[in-house]
Structure 1
Amino acid sequence: MEINNFIEEFRNDHVFMRNLLLQMTEACLKKDKKKATASLNQLNAFAGPHYRFEEEVLFKELLPVLGSEYIHKLFTDHDFVIARIHRLIEIFTSDYLAEPDFEEGIVLLQSLQLQLIECESICPKMKSFGMKKSLRLLEVMNEIRMKSKDLTSWAESERNREKLKI
């Protein structure tokens, strides 16, 4: 039961973020800066604890299953996610947005959606964790959520990785 609860919670995070990305894409297509910015702020706030959990806890647990090369790739994928979020913030906080800005936003959002799809592929590997570990991971995930630091703030203040710029 706990295994399924943990995986379900983890997947629900992905669904929530995917829905925000789709809302932002729709807002970009409609040139609705206000809605795109609101969804981006919500995504940044929500993604912080999720990505922190993955990097500080989950990736260590998956290392024996996935290997160091794939775990390194997951960290690198996160580097690009954070860079894309930073770029989206730059775009949507500018005073004036032209057609190319919205088009760039859509491309960035599509890349973020692809990363979520790929991250979802690790879920079957988590079924091997067992009930005790899954329950502990669910508790830790919820503890990290309570810290509520957004993705970009966490990346700048606590994450010990070089910042990419795109």
Structure 2
Amino acid sequence: MPKLDPIAEFRADHAKVRDTLLELIDAISKKDATKALEIMIRLDKITGPHFRWEEESLYLAFEKFFGRQYLEYLLGVHDRVIKRGKELVEILSKGKITDEEAKTLPDIIRSDVLSHPIECEGIALFAEKLTQKELDKLAEDLERIRREGIPLLEWAERIKDVARKERGLKARVLA
């Protein structure tokens, strides 16, 4: 039996991501491109296994509660977060944050990225409806995916679309 509590881990990841995103917003607001890029590298490592586990295990277990349409919406949210992550890395890699970027990027992070862990915390409400067998499978999947430790942007490029296709999933395109 797995030792890991997958829902506690899910929630702990969200707290870690929340704090790291707030740190990123602060660094960008202070126009510290070097620190902001270092934070993005940390986020890439934290969120890769987390997003992968959500898509390959958690969302599938919860689909019976919230349906395929909402699952596809969540995949679309992941795509939006990944797109924003790539854009941020590109901007921060220049080594300089303009006054305009220092004003606009924090709002983009708040609305397009930070909103996802907030929304996922609501999904955690369904955890008590899962069976022990389902929770054990989630724990096993999480342990395996964390061991593999693939960062977010690498997972997005190499694995995400293939894994979705294998499961018959598609992301809803968000405006």
Q: Under a length normalisation based on structure 1, what TM-score does the superposition of the two structures give?
A: 0.90
Aligned to 1:159: 160
Query: In the alignment, what sits opposite 1:18?
Result: 18
Aligned 8 A contact 1:17 1:43 in 2: yes
Indicate how the Cα distance of structure 1 residues 106 and 39 shifts in structure 2: closer, same or farther if over 3 A, else same.
same
CA distance in 1: counterparts of 2:24 and 2:95, whole angstroms: 18
Whether the 8 Å contact between 1:37 and 1:92 is mirrored in structure 2 is yes
Report 1:61-140 matches (<5 A). Answer: 61-111=61-111, 112-140=113-141
Aligned length: 162
> 2-side partners of 1:32 and 1:95: how far apart?
9
**Residue 44 of structure 2 aligns with which residue?**
44
Q: CA RMSD in A?
A: 2.0
Q: 1:49–1:148: 8 Å Cα contact kept in structure 2? A: yes
- Residue pair 2:82, 2:153 contacting (<8 A) in 1 also: yes
Task: Report the Cα offset of residue 48 of structure 1.
Answer: 0.4
Percent of aligned pairs with the same amino acid:
31
Tell me the CA shift for residue 138 of structure 1: 1.2
Give the superposition deviation at 1:46. Answer: 0.9
State the partner residue of 1:148.
149
1:16 Cα shift? 0.5
Deviation, 1:77, is 0.7
Q: Partners of 2:95 and 2:8 in 1: how far apart?
A: 40
Gaps of 5+ in 1: none
- Which runs of structure 1 show a deviation greater than 3 angstroms over 4 or more consecutive aligned residues? none
Contact 1:91 1:105 in 2 (8 A): no
What is the Cα deviation at residue 103 of structure 1?
2.5
